[in-house]
């Protein structure tokens, strides 16, 4: 497996509220985007990745992971409770939260968990498919038939999260699974990338040849070229 990671502040934000986690021996990859509308967004995303790292090392260890979905969900629930507890105990951090998209990559299986609007895509033979579903008010309005799918990106409700990590004592997690094949490319990213580039633009950059580092840089440059309005975090994997 080839791996490339980039996290960039973007062109307008003063600090990077994104955090990521790469634990290659476990096949674990995580992107978190702290909620910028609340104090402590950077704290929340950092707490999430630190808690998950500690959980994997201390509670899972080097043993084989027989039930990847259960492992991911347990780690996320633990981090959710930590963030919520810290927010309750510190007025400056009250209502802080973060998105999370996590992937466990097995030999032939991809297991995913997500809360919020950080995304995971898989590109196979040049065809891109988004496997996660955004937890935003605009996405809910599309599901309810109140707006059309093509109206979602420019909707004022597209950045209002309906779920986030750490804002409630319990969290609802979406899970997805997919088979994996040699040549597959997996992209985890914060919305600083997915808001700037549509799926056709992302697919055009995700070429099957060339280094993943170069491709990840091309994704970043394209998002910056369109304004770079938010923090941009990219984890790009190619399955060998």
Q: Express each pLDDT in 19-59 by its tens digit.
A: 999 999 999 999 999 985 556 889 999 999 999 999 999 98
Q: What is the mean pLDDT of residues 82-99?
A: 88
Q: Judge whether residue 68 has pLDDT over 60.
A: yes
Q: Express each pLDDT in 99-133 by its tens digit.
A: 999 999 998 999 999 999 999 999 998 899 999 99
Q: Judge whether residue 208 has pLDDT over 80.
A: no
- 190/213 Cα distance (integer angstroms): 17
pLDDT score of 122:
97
Alpha helices in 11-148 (DSSP H): 41-55, 68-89, 137-143
Q: Judge whether residue 63 has pLDDT over 70.
A: no
Q: Percentages helix, strand, coil for the chain, rounded to the nearest 5?
A: 35, 25, 40
| Separation of first and last alpha carbons in the chain | 5
* CB 110, CB 178: distance < 8 Å: yes
Q: Judge whether residue 14 has pLDDT over 90.
A: no
- The total number of structural domains in the chain stands at 1
* CB 165, CB 97: distance < 8 Å: yes
Taking each helix axis from N to C terminus, what angle separates 41-55 and 68-89, rounded to the nearest 10 degrees?
140
Task: Give, in degrees to the nearest 5, the angle at Cα 132 between 127 and 133.
Answer: 120
Domain boundaries, position 15: 2-238
**What residues does 175 pair with on adjacent strands?**
113
- How crowded is residue 60: how many other Cβ atoms within 10 Å of its Cβ? 16
Q: What is the mean pLDDT of residues 194-201?
A: 94
How sure is the predictor about 72, in pLDDT bands with cuts at 50, 70 and 90?
Answer: very high
Q: Give the Å distances, CA to CA, from 98 to 163, 214, 240.
A: 9, 28, 32
- 231/213 Cα distance (integer angstroms): 18
Q: What is the mean pLDDT of residues 218-229?
A: 96
pLDDT score of 232:
97
pLDDT score of 25:
92
CATH number for position 97:
3.60.40.10
What is the percent of the chain with per-residue pLDDT over 70, rounded to a whole number?
A: 97
Taking all residues of the chain, what is their mean pLDDT, rounded to a whole number? 92
pLDDT score of 39:
67
- Judged by DSSP in three states, 19 sits in strand
* CB 31, CB 189: distance < 8 Å: yes
> Cβ neighbours of residue 2 under 8 Å, at least 6 residues apart?
211, 212, 237, 238, 240
Which is higher by pLDDT, 66 or 39? 66
Q: What is the mean pLDDT of residues 144-150?
A: 84
- How crowded is residue 160: how many other Cβ atoms within 10 Å of its Cβ? 15
- 34/4 Cα distance (integer angstroms): 21
Q: Judge whether residue 98 has pLDDT over 90.
A: yes
Q: What token pair was written down for 156?
A: 């004022």
Q: Express each pLDDT in 160-182 by its tens digit.
A: 999 999 999 999 999 999 999 99
From the centroid of its chain, how far is CA 159?
Answer: 15
Task: Give, in degrees to the nearest 5, the angle at Cα 124 between 118 and 126.
Answer: 100
């Amino acid at each position: 497996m080839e791996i490339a990671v980039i996290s960039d502040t973007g062109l307008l934000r003063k600090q990077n509220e994104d955090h990521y986690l790469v634990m290659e021996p476990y096949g674990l990859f995580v992107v978190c985007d702290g909620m910028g509308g609340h104090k402590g967004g950077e704290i929340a995303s950092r707490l999430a990745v630190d808690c998950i790292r500690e959980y994997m090392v201390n509670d899972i260890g080097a043993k084989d992971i027989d039930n990847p979905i259960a492992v991911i969900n347990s780690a996320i629930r633990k981090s959710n409770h930590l963030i919520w507890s810290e927010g309750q105990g510190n007025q400056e951090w009250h209502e802080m939260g973060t998105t999370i998209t996590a992937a466990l990559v097995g030999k032939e299986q991809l297991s995913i968990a997500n809360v919020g609007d950080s995304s995971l895509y898989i590109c196979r033979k040049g065809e891109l498919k988004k496997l996660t579903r955004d937890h935003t008010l605009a996405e809910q309005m599309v599901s309810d038939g109140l707006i059309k799918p093509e109206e979602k990106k420019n909707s004022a409700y597209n950045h209002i999260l309906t779920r986030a990590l750490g804002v409630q004592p319990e969290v609802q997690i979406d899970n997805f699974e997919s088979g994996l094949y040699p040549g597959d490319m997996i992209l985890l990213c914060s919305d600083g990338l997915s808001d700037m580039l549509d799926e056709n633009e992302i697919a055009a950059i995700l070429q099957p040849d060339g280094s993943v580092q170069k491709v990840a840089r091309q994704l970043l440059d394209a998002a910056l070229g369109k304004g770079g309005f938010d923090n941009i975090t990219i984890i790009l994997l190619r399955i060998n």
